[in-house]
Amino acid sequence: MAELRGPKTLVLQITAVVRDPGGFLTVSGHFENEGTTSLVIPSALRGDETAILKHGSSLGGATLVDPEGKKRYYVLRDTDGRPLTTTGLTTLAAGRTTPVFMQFPAPPPNAVRLVLHVPTFTAGIVEVSE
């Protein structure tokens, strides 16, 4: 669906963007290390908000942009401020992958082409599958 290139040989492959009946949008995929040595997954992925920083490594800094509706959507958080994303990201061995997900508030039903921004990665256009 989309490929976002990160630092060195780290790639984020997005495989699904699904709207669920509860009003959420889940972005799923995996990190892949295309290199020949282990990589540290950047801590910058969690963003710089104090509420997210105290919960460790995550994809809490990711955002979705609806270019037509001119709105930005931030990763959802639970009642304790933890981001609703994959957490505990540390290193990735050469040639390996690890699954990831991020949950956002669902944009309006007519918003199907969105731009995914993840800190330190190129942006990528993703399409919502109903």
Reported as a single tens digit per residue, the pLDDT across 89-120 is: 889 999 999 999 999 999 999 999 999 999 99
pLDDT at 32 (0 to 100): 96
30 has pLDDT over 70 = yes
CA–CA separation, 114 vs 126, rounded Å? 5
pLDDT band at 52 (very low <50, low <70, confident <90, very high): low
pLDDT tens across 16-25, in order? 999 988 899 9
Q: Which two tokens stand for residue 110?
A: 């007519």
- pTM for this structure? 0.91
Per DSSP, 43 falls in state G
Here the tokens at position 35 are 């290199």
**pLDDT computed for residue 105 by the predictor:** 96
Task: Provide the token pair at 100.
Answer: 């990831």
Cα–Cα distance measured from residue 36 to residue 74, given in angstroms and rounded to the nearest whole number: 33
Give the residue among 9, 26, 43, 22 at the shortest CA–CA distance from 84: 26
Tell me how far apart the alpha carbons of residues 117 and 97 are, in angstroms, rounded to a whole number. 20
Of 51 and 1, the one with more pLDDT? 1
pLDDT for 56-100, tens place per residue? Answer: 678 889 999 999 999 999 999 988 888 999 988 889 999 999 999
